C-alpha cells in the first residue's frame, strides 16, 4: 500500500497557487513531506512548476483533482511507491541495459522491468538468465514500420508506461514517437547538442575534443533533439582513439541514463517545451 502521493503541477504563475494547493492538502488532514517549486520567468508571462509529496488518504486525491481542474492547472498525481512498468530497448551494446536492470534488481527506485526488446539476439541469455522476458524484433529498412507496430504490441501486452532506449540504434518514426508521446527516454552518446546522430565518438575524435559526454533525453521525432533530462562529461586527451573514447564513454552513458530513468520513475521531471524542470 503506497504511503504517499506525488503531485506534479504546472500553470500560469499567480500569487497564492502554492498556498492554494498546500491548503487543499492540509484541509484533508494530509501532511506534506516535500515541496519544491520553480517559476520560469518569461517576457510575456511566468510559468510555475510544482512537485509535492504528501500523505495518501481517501479524499485528498479526489479533492485535488476537482479543485485543480477548475483552475486550469496541468497536473498529475502518482502513487509514490507504484512501480513504473518499463520496456528496455537495446541493440548490441549491453552496458546501459545492464546498469538499469541491476539498479532495478536492487530496487533503487520504483521501476518494474516488464521486458527487453531488441533487434539483435546477443543480449538474450543475459536478460533471460535474470528472469526477464526477451523479445527479438528484427528491423530492416523495408520492415521498419511493421517492427515498430510489433514493439507497440509487445509494450501494450505488458501495460508498459515507459520505454527506455538503452543504446537502441534505430531511428523511430514520427508515428511511433507520437504514439508513445514523452514516454520514451534515450541515451545519446555525446554531450548534446554536439555530435547528433550516428558515430558521435568518431565525430568527437575528428574534432579533437578534450571532453566527451552523454545526454539522456525524451525522444521526439527530431533526432536527438528532445527535452534533455540529464547530461555528464568525462575527460579525454590526444592519446584517445575513437575506440578508446567509445569505451570510456560507456560508463558515463550508463550513469546518465540511470539517473534520468530514476528521476522519471520518481516523478521528478516536468517537461517545459523542449526543456525540462528536474526537481532533484
Q: Which spans of this chain sit near ligand LMY7XDAE (rule: CB under 6 A)? A: 165, 168-172, 177, 186, 188, 197-198, 219, 221, 223-224, 226
Least separation in angstroms between CB 64 and ligand LMY7XDAE: 34
- Residue among 159, 224, 232, 244 flagged as catalytic: 224
SS (H, E, C) 182-246: CCEEEEECCCCCCCCCCCHHHHHHHHCCCEEEEEEEECCCCCCCCCEEEEEEEECCCCCCHHHHH
CA dist 109 and 107 (Å) reads: 5
**Cβ closest to ligand LMY7XDAE, residue 17 vs residue 163:** 163
HSE-CB at 64 with a 13 A cutoff on CA atoms is 29
Least separation in angstroms between CB 172 and ligand LMY7XDAE: 4
Question: In this structure, are residues 101 and 108 in contact, taking their beta carbons and an 8 Å threshold?
Answer: no
Beta bridge partners of residue 50, listed in sequence order:
9, 37
Least separation in angstroms between CB 142 and ligand LMY7XDAE: 12
Least separation in angstroms between CB 255 and ligand LMY7XDAE: 16
Least separation in angstroms between CB 91 and ligand LMY7XDAE: 7
**Cβ closest to ligand LMY7XDAE, residue 8 vs residue 97:** 97
Phi, psi of 255 (to 5 degrees): -70, -40
> Which residue is listed with cell 485528498?
60
Q: Is 114 helix (H, G, I), strand (E, B) or coil?
A: strand
**Cβ closest to ligand LMY7XDAE, residue 51 vs residue 167:** 167
Question: In this structure, are residues 26 and 47 in contact, taking their beta carbons and an 8 Å threshold?
Answer: no
**Cβ closest to ligand LMY7XDAE, residue 170 vs residue 272:** 170
**Cβ closest to ligand LMY7XDAE, residue 11 vs residue 271:** 271
HSE-CB at 43 with a 13 A cutoff on CA atoms is 0
**Cβ closest to ligand LMY7XDAE, residue 177 vs residue 209:** 177
- Give, for 89, the enclosing helix (H) or strand (E): strand 84-90
> Active site includes 224?
yes
Least separation in angstroms between CB 165 and ligand LMY7XDAE: 5
Neighbours of 39 (CB within 10 A): 13
End-to-end CA distance of the chain: 25
Provide the annotated active-site residues.
Answer: 224
Amino acid at each position: 500500500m503506497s504511503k504517499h502521493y506525488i503531485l506534479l503541477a504546472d500553470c500560469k504563475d499567480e500569487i497564492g497557487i502554492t498556498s492554494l494547493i498546500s491548503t487543499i492538502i492540509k484541509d484533508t488532514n494530509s501532511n506534506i513531506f516535500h515541496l519544491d517549486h520553480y517559476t520560469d520567468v518569461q517576457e510575456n508571462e511566468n510559468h510555475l512548476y510544482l512537485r509535492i509529496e504528501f500523505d495518501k488518504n481517501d479524499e485528498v486525491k479526489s479533492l485535488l483533482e476537482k479543485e485543480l481542474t477548475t483552475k486550469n492547472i496541468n497536473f498529475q498525481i502518482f502513487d509514490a511507491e507504484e512501480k513504473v512498468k518499463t520496456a528496455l530497448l537495446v541493440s548490441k551494446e549491453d552496458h546501459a541495459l545492464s546498469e538499469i536492470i541491476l539498479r532495478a534488481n536492487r530496487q533503487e527506485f520504483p521501476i518494474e522491468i516488464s521486458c527487453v526488446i531488441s533487434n539483435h539476439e546477443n543480449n538474450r541469455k543475459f536478460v533471460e538468465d535474470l528472469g526477464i522476458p526477451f523479445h527479438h524484433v528484427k528491423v530492416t529498412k523495408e520492415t521498419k514500420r511493421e517492427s515498430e507496430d510489433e514493439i507497440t504490441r509487445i509494450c501494450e501486452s505488458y501495460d508498459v508506461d515507459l520505454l527506455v532506449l538503452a543504446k537502441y540504434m534505430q531511428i523511430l518514426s514520427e508515428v511511433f514517437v507520437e504514439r508513445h508521446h514523452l514516454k520514451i527516454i534515450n541515451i545519446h552518446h555525446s554531450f548534446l547538442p554536439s555530435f547528433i546522430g550516428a558515430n558521435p565518438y568518431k565525430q568527437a575524435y575528428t574534432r579533437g575534443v578534450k571532453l566527451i559526454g552523454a545526454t539522456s533525453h525524451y525522444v521526439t521525432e527530431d533526432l536527438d533533439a528532445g527535452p534533455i533530462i540529464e547530461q555528464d562529461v568525462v575527460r579525454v586527451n590526444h592519446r584517445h582513439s575513437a575506440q578508446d573514447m567509445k569505451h570510456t564513454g560507456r560508463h558515463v552513458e550508463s550513469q546518465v541514463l540511470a539517473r534520468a530513468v530514476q528521476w522519471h520513475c520518481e516523478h521528478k521531471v516536468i517537461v517545459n517545451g523542449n526543456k525540462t524542470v528536474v526537481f532533484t
